């Protein structure tokens, strides 16, 4: 598995969203842990600004087989990685364990 987003994936994300894409070591370390003892460094950290950003992020990551871990307060980092798959007919994403 890659240790960070490829340059192409980072560029594609930056081109298609208004939010911010971070792959620097400090951001990856900052978001690698929550209040538990687990620490898993993400490939990158993306901050969406709009609902359309979420769609673009999920589509790009799905296409590149990059797992997505939504993060709120940081409590979901204890092994609850979920893969999301688009359903073009319903225009939604299905996320499962």
- For residue 4, the model assigns a pLDDT of 64
Q: CA–CA separation, 75 vs 48, rounded Å?
A: 19
CA-wise closest residue to 83 among 68, 63, 65? 68
Q: Is residue 60 pLDDT above 60, yes or no?
A: yes
Better-predicted residue by pLDDT, 81 or 43: 43
Residue 4 · residue 45 · CB < 8 Å: no
Residue 41 · residue 29 · CB < 8 Å: yes
- For residue 49, the model assigns a pLDDT of 93
Q: Which pTM was predicted? A: 0.69
- For residue 26, the model assigns a pLDDT of 92
Structure tokens at 33: 């842990």
Topology (CATH) of 7-96: 3.30.43
Q: Which helix (H) or strand (E) holds 84?
A: strand 83-87
CA atoms in the 13 A half-sphere facing the CB of 81: 9
Give the pLDDT confidence of 22-54 residue by residue, as tens digits. 999 999 988 887 667 778 888 999 999 999 999
User: How large is the average pLDDT for residues 82-92?
Assistant: 65
- For residue 63, the model assigns a pLDDT of 92
What one-character DSSP code corresponds to residue 12? H
């Amino acid at each position: 598995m890659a240790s960070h987003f490829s340059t192409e994936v980072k560029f594609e994300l930056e081109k298609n969203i208004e939010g911010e894409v971070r792959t620097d070591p400090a951001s990856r370390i900052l978001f690698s842990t929550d209040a538990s003892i687990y620490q898993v460094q993400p490939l990158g950290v993306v901050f969406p600004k709009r609902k359309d950003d979420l769609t673009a992020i999920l589509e790009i990551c799905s296409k590149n087989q990059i797992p997505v871990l939504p993060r709120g307060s940081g409590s979901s980092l204890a092994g609850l990685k979920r893969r999301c798959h688009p359903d073009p007919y319903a225009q939604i994403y299905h996320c499962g364990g």
